[in-house]
């Protein structure tokens, strides 16, 4: 198991946080409070508030994910609302009379943050089998690196930490790290994301029927000609935004304590920490955000999204042409919106406001957690072994400057580690430390409100699952045993487990 003290493992440091050390008595109390329960006769203490004191009332509207932390100060409500305005802003191409909003592209995937994270919820794939174009999703790209390429800083660090290699990949030399299906006037989109769905019937042992959608993803009409040899693609829908600040405040040491890359306890689960080289701190840190945990902090994730998705420069990622490669001269030579009083197309203050907004999108309270069917479903969830990856509870750091996230008992239902999910869910595209079959365990809080907020119930990294039952059935690899347990349940017990998930 991984070391859990900052002195033993530098990765357990949290350079992005101003922390107050826990006392031995606090550490002992936290260990007791976060231990898995074995009593399913009633809800656990504080289970109704998955975001701790930041939890908000569960609204019955599409705005359920757009509320600010309940413990936010009155003064900081204004910061949240200013950040919300920037998050909702639609950027325009340069030059423009609207200097505070120009700089879009020249190639891009969306015109604003909320274009993908509509109502701060989950994105969706094309719904029709023959529909082309992206709907609040993107396509990651990469190609293998030559065997004689220099060793990356991440590979060098991991070689010393645990000896695990990093798959050698790089962005496509022309198309870059992701497909840009949209372009400003005078530019040409890189191509079109498209998919064909194949329906696959599934029968439970008791005779109940289900079906799965298997996607065949492709890129049509590539503008710059064929992709490089060995091109790897990874379609991804935008994840929901709630609870990000609480995730950021979890001690890295507590996440690392769940690592077991060699499955030394022989439970079939071998979670690995995602490790990234932080562009802000210039050192290896724990990855927490993104479908493969490729970002360490909300600020870094926000800056990367501004650049890669919208083509907007920030102090952290200052290239004015966004993600355009050196081979895309027409994009790099196009008009850009930086160079005025802002410096970059969104300045330090603007990036901080969007970061603050994203950090304080609140987790709604649980619903019906004392319902007998929900309690029975919770027991089935635990007995199936789902909590081996979907860890129920953490306690956040005690923080000197973020009262909203400080020392909160939270219930994200994730261990935030990388797990092999099997060939069925593989994108076969390594990303940093994650292999082509590994994904970060997604938090489950708020998952039962997806339909209400987003207007659909499409789950998993590419939205292939149309409901929670299909999502479970796609699980493989380390989750195969839990999936098989779910399949073997009676219809009543399966329904109870899904009802429990819907209550989160």
Q: Using CA atoms, how far apart are residues 286 and 250, in angstroms rounded to an integer? A: 11
Q: Using CA atoms, how far apart are residues 447 and 386, in angstroms rounded to an integer? A: 15
Looking at residue 8, its pLDDT comes to 62
Looking at residue 262, its pLDDT comes to 87
Do 227 and 141 contact (CB within 8 A), yes or no? yes
Is residue 271 situated within a structural domain?
yes
Residue 79 has φ and ψ, to the nearest 5°, of -60, -40
Is residue 290 situated within a structural domain?
yes
CA 306 to chain centre: 16
Q: Using CA atoms, how far apart are residues 390 and 45, in angstroms rounded to an integer? A: 19
Looking at residue 133, its pLDDT comes to 44
SS3 content of the chain, % helix, strand, coil (to 5): 30, 15, 55
Is residue 432 situated within a structural domain?
yes
Looking at residue 155, its pLDDT comes to 85
Number of domains the chain contains: 1
Is residue 2 situated within a structural domain?
no
Q: Which of 198, 193, 66, 213 is nearest to 137 (CA)?
A: 193
Residue with tokens 């496509």: 172
Q: Which of 135, 261, 133, 234 is nearest to 178 (CA)?
A: 234
Looking at residue 286, its pLDDT comes to 97
Q: Could you tell me the residue range of the domain that residue 300 belongs to?
A: 10-502
What's the average pLDDT block by block, 10 residues per block, for the chain (504 residues)?
51 95 95 96 98 98 98 96 96 85 93 94 78 70 86 84 80 95 95 94 96 95 93 96 98 96 89 94 96 97 97 95 94 86 90 98 98 98 97 98 97 98 97 95 98 96 97 98 98 98 98
Is residue 4 situated within a structural domain?
no
Looking at residue 149, its pLDDT comes to 79
Looking at residue 70, its pLDDT comes to 98
Looking at residue 213, its pLDDT comes to 96
Is residue 27 situated within a structural domain?
yes
pTM of the model: 0.95
Is residue 114 situated within a structural domain?
yes
Is residue 3 situated within a structural domain?
no
């Amino acid at each position: 198991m991984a070391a859990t003290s900052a002195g033993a493992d530098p990765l357990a440091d949290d350079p992005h946080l101003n922390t107050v050390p826990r006392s031995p008595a606090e550490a002992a109390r936290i260990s007791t409070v976060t231990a898995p329960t074995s009593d399913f006769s009633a809800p656990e203490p504080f289970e109704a508030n998955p975001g701790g004191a930041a939890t908000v009332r569960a609204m019955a509207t599409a705005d359920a994910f757009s509320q600010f932390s309940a413990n936010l100060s009155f003064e900081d409500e204004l910061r949240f609302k200013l950040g919300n305005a920037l998050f909702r802003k639609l950027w325009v191409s340069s030059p423009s009379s609207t200097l505070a909003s120009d700089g879009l592209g020249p190639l891009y995937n969306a015109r604003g943050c909320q274009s993908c994270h509509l109502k701060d919820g989950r994105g969706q794939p094309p719904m029709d089998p023959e529909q082309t174009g992206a709907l609040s999703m993107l396509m990651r790209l990469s190609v293998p690196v030559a065997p004689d390429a220099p060793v990356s800083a991440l590979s060098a660090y991991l070689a010393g930490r645990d000896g695990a290699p990093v798959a050698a990949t790089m962005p496509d030399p022309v198309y870059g790290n992701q497909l840009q299906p949209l372009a400003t006037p005078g530019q040409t989109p890189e191509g079109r994301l498209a998919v064909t769905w194949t329906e696959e019937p599934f029968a439970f042992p008791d005779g109940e029927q289900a079906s799965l959608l298997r996607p065949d993803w492709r890129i049509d009409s590539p503008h710059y000609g064929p992709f490089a040899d060995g091109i790897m693609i990874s379609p991804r829908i935008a994840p929901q935004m709630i609870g990000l600040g609480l995730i950021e405040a979890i001690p890295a040491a507590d996440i690392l304590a769940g690592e077991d890359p060699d499955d030394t306890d022989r439970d079939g689960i071998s979670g690995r920490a995602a490790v990234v080289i932080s562009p802000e701190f210039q050192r290896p840190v724990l990855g927490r955000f993104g479908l493969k945990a490729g970002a360490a902090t909300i600020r870094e994730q926000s800056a990367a999204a501004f650049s890669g998705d919208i083509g907007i420069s920030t102090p952290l990622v200052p290239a004015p042409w966004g993600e355009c490669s050196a081979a895309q001269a027409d994009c790099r030579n196009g008009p850009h919106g930086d160079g005025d009083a802002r410096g970059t197309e969104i300045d330090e203050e603007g990036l901080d406001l969007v970061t603050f907004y994203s950090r304080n999108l609140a987790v709604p309270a649980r619903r019906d957690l004392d319902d007998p069917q929900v309690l029975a479903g919770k027991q089935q969830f635990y007995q199936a072994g789902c909590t081996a990856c979907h860890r129920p509870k953490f306690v956040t750091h005690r923080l000197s400057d973020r009262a909203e996230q400080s020392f909160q008992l939270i219930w994200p239902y994730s261990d935030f580690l990388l797990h092999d999910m099997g060939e069925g869910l593989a994108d076969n595209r390594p990303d940093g430390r994650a292999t082509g079959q590994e994904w970060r365990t997604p938090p489950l809080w708020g998952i039962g409100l997806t339909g209400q907020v987003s207007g659909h119930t499409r789950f998993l990294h590419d939205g292939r699952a149309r409901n929670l039952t299909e999502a479970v059935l796609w699980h493989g690899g380390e989750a195969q045993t839990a999936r098989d347990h779910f399949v073997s349940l009676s219809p009543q017990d399966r329904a109870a487990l899904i009802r429990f998930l819907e209550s989160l």
